[in-house]
Amino acid sequence: KAGVTQTPRYLIKTRGQQVTLSCSPISGHRSVSWYQQTPGQGLQFLFEYFSETQRNKGNFPGRFSGRQFSNSRSEMNVSTLELGDSALYLCASSLAAKTNTGELFFGEGSRLTVL
Amino acid sequence: GESVGLHLPTLSVQEGDNSIINCAYSNSASDYFIWYKQESGKGPQFIIDIRSNMDKRQGQRVTVLLNKTVKHLSLQIAATQPGDSAVYFCAEGRRSNDYKLSFGAGTTVTVRA
């Protein structure tokens, strides 16, 4: 059974550009969450989607957005990139419609570098 | 602000010894806690979880202890192996905020041969 797949794994952008990251959850998982990981802030929750609906959102500016498709695949977009957006962006999927214990299956992440 | 935090950012352990990783949390409303392991270049991997109505839970070579009185959580790894070298995160979740986990900063565990 394939795990969570994230593309691209690495990318370099310049300030002001925008980026789209993709996530394919484990087959059958309908919940997809996104986290930003940086050395200084650790893992920070971005948003969570279930059945194409955003159910929760973290404390990030509106430049960060996401969506989920009918096949549960998800994308996140960051517009007008800033140097501080350099991070590892992690996608996680979950089977449960309502997460009782929060067991998430993470992908390997997309490493974004903003120059 | 951060609702979970780890006591030590790094831990060095002799192979074969037991490891104890600590985590403090601030929110009494937390309903469950999870420990994750992240190896270099990989995403976090679920280790074990515990609900707030429990004090202890055991898995394979791992035990999680929850002390709600002092809002403290620990992960014990028995007979630490080189493959246990990684960054360990504690995270907390609440049913009222069911789809969001708050992670601690992480403890880097290095196993000495």
Q: For each of chain B's 113 residues, which pLDDT tens digit applies?
A: 446 776 688 999 999 999 999 999 888 888 889 999 999 989 999 999 999 999 999 999 999 999 999 999 999 999 999 999 999 999 998 877 666 888 988 999 999 99
Q: Do the Cβ atoms of A106 and B44 come within 8 Å? A: yes
pLDDT at A24 over 90: yes
Q: What is the DSSP string of B13-77?
A: EETTS-EEEEEEE--TT--EEEEEEE-TTS--EEEEEEETT-SEEE-SSEEEEEETTTTEEEEEE
Report the DSSP beta bridge partners of residue A42.
A38
- The whole-angstrom separation of Cα B63 and Cα B86 is 17
A45 and B44: CB-CB below 8 Å?
A: no
Give the confidence band of A44 by pLDDT, cuts at 50, 70, 90: very high
Distance from CA of A26 to the nearest CA of B (A): 14
Query: Cβ distance A4 to A24 under 8 Å?
Result: yes
Subunit contact B49:A99, Cβ cutoff 8 A: no
**DSSP assigned state of A35:** E
Spatial contact of A5 and A16, defined as CB atoms under 8 Å apart = no
Q: Is the pLDDT of residue A59 over 50?
A: yes
Burial status of residue B40 (CB atoms within 10 A of its CB: 0-12, 13-18, 19 or more): exposed
Nearest to A101 among B34, B36, B43 (CB): B34
The DSSP 8-state label assigned to residue A1 in this structure reads -
Smallest Cα–Cα separation from A45: which of A112, A53, B5, A37? A37
Give the E-state strand segments of chain A in sequence order: 5-7, 10-13, 19-24, 31-38, 42-50, 53-57, 64-68, 74-78, 87-94, 105-106, 110-114
A50, A55, A102: residue with CB nearest B93:
A102
Give the CB-side neighbour count of residue B44, counting CA atoms within 13 A.
34
Cβ(A54)–Cβ(A47) below 8 Å: yes
Residue type, B10: T
Q: What is the pLDDT, as a whole number, of residue B1? A: 42
Q: Please, which residues have CB within 8 angstroms of residue B82's CB and are 6 or more apart in sequence?
A: B15, B111, B113
Which residues of chain A are at the B interface, by a Cβ-Cβ cutoff of 8 Å?
4, 31, 33, 35, 42-45, 48, 50, 55-56, 58, 90, 92, 98-109
Residue among A38, A43, A51, A56 with most chain B CBs within 10 A, to mutate: A43
